[in-house]
Amino acid sequence: MQPETRYAKNGDVNIAYQVVGDGPPDLVAVDVISHIELGWEIPSQARFFTRLASICRLFRVNQRGTGMSDRDVGLPTLETRMDDIRAVLDAVGSQRAVLFGLGDASPLSVLFAATYPERTAGLILMNASPRFVKSPSLSWLPTREETQRRADDFERRWGDPAFASEVIGMTNPSAPEEELQSIARVFRLSVSPGAAAAYIRMNIDVDVCDVLPLVRVPTLVMHRKDGGGWDSRSGRYLAEHIPGARFVELPGADFSPGLGDQELLFAELESFLAGVVAGTHPEVEPDRVLATVLFSDIVGSSERAATLGDRAWRELLLRHHELVRRQL
């Protein structure tokens, strides 16, 4: 039986999510372009998520702008998309969860883990990269111009079913032909042509390389050896720069976790999640944290203080601080 789709409100945007399984632990699966309802019609995805939900309480989430979540959301920042995870956790009453970031959903998972370590029980990154255009440190990635051309190509050819099958087939070579058609159909129904192109352009400037050393939660990085959508060197880079992270190279070339060898994949997942529940992963002591300093200036404060007097002014300041803290 397909799970019920629910919604978490973050500002004016509705974020679609589903809850499957009982846990512990809680696990948030942040997907790429997808549709959390239609995805259950794809046999490999249904098998993967059903098995995953047998070892955790699984929260499946559609990113804003995709699938069942609100579509017309402009070009949200990485911080805004990250905060959608917090909104889902609040909606389901989860205090701490493991994050499973797949592909280009991995940077927002990394940023969440660094920003909210008290709410992150662990971090799993699969077929992931800290950025998606070429830089001196990640010279194997496509250039900005190549990525822009890819976005233009998506917008121009998105309505052609053959194009979606071609894109899916290139990154999931072991998918049977019949299933390939189903994946391509769901892919096309998850976003419009303009939204597909905007999704790619949105990720052009995403870069969490400087955030990686700030992640202080147990981390498992897995990458398919022969592809997985992104070069496996990106996965190694993530593991080398996240303190205490473990890198596992899996056989095959499929981007979708539901395709390819499932036994090795689940052996790693089960071992990692069991360690999270038991608290046996080595602790990484934080030496830096992400924080925000808010400075507020009360206009005309000197004149107001002189008018009210010291005692009344102090009481007014206390009320001001309480209101600000309540909003934060």
Per the DSSP assignment, residues forming a β-bridge with 29 are 60, 100
Same domain? 98 vs 137: yes
Per the DSSP assignment, residues forming a β-bridge with 220 are 124, 246
For residue 156, how far is the Cα from the chain centroid? 27
Residue in this structure with the two tokens 């070069």, named with its chain if needed = 231
What are the strands, taking DSSP E only, across the chain? Answer: 5-10, 13-20, 26-30, 57-61, 97-102, 120-126, 219-224, 246-250
Same domain? 137 vs 241: yes
Q: Please, what sign has the CA dihedral across residues 244, 248, 230, 88?
A: negative
Rounded distance between C-alpha atoms, residue 318 and residue 322, angstroms: 6
Per the DSSP assignment, residues forming a β-bridge with 15 are 8
Residues of the chain short of pLDDT 50, as ranges, are none
pLDDT tens by residue, 29-81? 988 889 999 999 999 999 999 999 999 999 999 999 999 999 888 888 899 99
Rounded distance between C-alpha atoms, residue 266 and residue 174, angstroms: 18
Length of the chain: 328
Q: Which residues contact 249 (CB under 8 A, 6 or more apart)?
A: 222, 223, 224, 225, 232, 235
Same domain? 189 vs 325: no
B/e letters for 85-98, b = 16+ CB within 10 Å, e = fewer, are: bebbbebeebebbb
Neighbours of 225 (CB within 10 A): 12
Residue 208 lies in a domain: yes
Residue 19 lies in a domain: yes
Same domain? 175 vs 208: yes
What total of structural domains would you count in the chain? Answer: 2
The CATH number linked to 136 is 3.40.50.1820
Half-sphere exposure of 230 (CA within 13 A, CB side): 26
Q: What is the DSSP string of 126-142?
A: ES--SBSS--SS-TTSP
Retrieve residue 148's tokens.
Answer: 């822009």
Q: What is the pTM of this model?
A: 0.85
Same domain? 211 vs 93: yes
Same domain? 199 vs 326: no
Residue 99 lies in a domain: yes
Same domain? 319 vs 269: no
Cβ(139)–Cβ(237) below 8 Å = no
Residue 287 lies in a domain: no
Rounded distance between C-alpha atoms, residue 170 and residue 254, angstroms: 9
What's phi and psi for 28, nearest 5 deg? -100, 115
Out of 278, 300, 317, a domain closes at: 278
Domain of 248 in residue numbering reads as 5-278
B/e letters for 155-179, b = 16+ CB within 10 Å, e = fewer, are: beebeeeebbbebbeebbbebeeeb
Same domain? 46 vs 80: yes
Rounded distance between C-alpha atoms, residue 251 and residue 237, angstroms: 18
What's phi and psi for 182, nearest 5 deg? -65, -45
Reference 89, options 78, 77, 80, 98; nearest CA is 98
pLDDT at 178: 86
Reference 86, options 199, 6, 9, 5; nearest CA is 9
Same domain? 272 vs 297: no
Same domain? 316 vs 223: no
Residue 285 lies in a domain: no
Same domain? 246 vs 124: yes
- The H or E element that residue 324 is part of is helix 310-327
Same domain? 272 vs 298: no
